[in-house]
Amino acid sequence: MNSIAIIMSVYKGDNFNDVKTALESLYDQSVDKIDIYVQEDGVVEKGVHKFLTNELALNKIAYLGLRNINKGLAFSLNELIKIVLGNNYNYIVRMDADDISTPIRIERQFIFMENNPQVDICGTYIEEFGDGINYKKKVTYPLKHKDMFEFFKKRTPLAHVSSFFRRSYFDKAGFYEVDGHISNEDTLMWMKGFASKCRFANINYVGVRVRVGKDFFSRRGGWKKTLSDFRNRMLVNKKMHYGFSAYIYAIALMVINLMPSLLKKYAYKYLRQ
């Protein structure tokens, strides 16, 4: 069985420099053998497409999927996961096209998973950094399954960008929900995981540096996305049988998401762990 596959979806909003930096952070990992699978979700920037095609020709990436129509992140991830599972990889790692994996991220998560065979998925802490704005924030998460389940009452207990799946996760929970009304597919993915008895964990290590651009906070607002996120939280609360406090957290999050960008930036920086 093959060991580690990293999956990355690229779309028209990703620029050449960010994609190049993201991939180079994977090339520089301390682990010798990792295979990178990339999906172009719709037509991407010409420079990005040329770069990815060249990386494929140089055998730096193992697979490049091309699609002219944008189907969304969840759809692209499902496509890549099915291909990777069909190629018999034991571990599947998430990577965003504009973020940076720290040099020993994959090694740390791989060793943890090898030493904890009961765990189906592990994440890491992340560090958000400003790209064109003055912003920096280390985001931490609970480390143990029980604490992560309790934390899920408030918000997602694992950074999606740091996900390191054992293939058993998909055997138990299935794939991402694909629906035009879903704006944060990870929330429902974690719900399905907990409901399917997947075991969760985090590592107290910053594994991914997450780029925060000028539109980061404005994209987390608006009624359409806010209502979608609130709807997802209601579904989580019902499915997980959380109590009254979980609904208070959901309402508070909805209020934060509707704040002006400047206030939202403050809330994200100082009200999260």
Cα(137)–Cα(130) distance, integer angstroms: 9
In the 3-class helix/strand/coil scheme, how is 35-50 assigned residue by residue?
Answer: EEEEEEECCCCHHHHH
Q: Has residue 8 been placed in a domain?
A: yes
72: CATH: 3.90.550.10
Residue 94: give the domain boundaries. Answer: 2-213
* Residue 170, token pair as written in the block: 């998909």
Per-residue confidence (pLDDT) for residue 8, from 0 to 100: 98
Q: Are strands 89-94 and 63-67 parallel, antiparallel or unpaired?
A: unpaired
Whether 254 is in a domain gets the answer: no
User: Is there a domain that residue 234 lies in?
Assistant: no
Taking Cα atoms as reference points, which of 56, 87, 57, 79 lies closest to residue 7?
A: 79
Q: Is residue 238 part of a domain?
A: no
- The tens digit of pLDDT for each residue in 53-66 reads 999 999 999 999 99
| Beta-bridge partner residues of 100 | 209
218 within a domain of the structure (yes/no): no
pLDDT at 221: 54
Q: What is the pTM of this model?
A: 0.88
29 in any annotated domain: yes
Residue 126: burial class (beta carbons within 10 Å; 0-12, 13-18, 19+) = buried
**pLDDT at 265 > cutoff 80:** no
Residue 118 pLDDT > 60: yes
Looking at the 3D structure of the chain, how many domains does it have?
1
Residue 88 region, left (φ>0) first, then alpha (ψ -120 to 50), else beta? left
pLDDT in tens, 170-191: 999 999 998 755 567 899 999 9
Q: Is residue 37 part of a domain?
A: yes
**Does the pLDDT of residue 236 top 90, yes or no?**
no
Give mean pLDDT, residues 149-164.
95
What is the DSSP track for 67-120? ESS---HHHHHHHHHHHHHHTTEEEEEE--TT-EE-TTHHHHHHHHHHH-TT-S
Q: Is the pLDDT of residue 264 over 90?
A: no
Mean pLDDT confidence for 114-138: 93
Q: How confident is the model at residue 229 (pLDDT cuts 50, 70, 90)?
A: confident
Residue 194 belongs to some domain of the structure:
yes
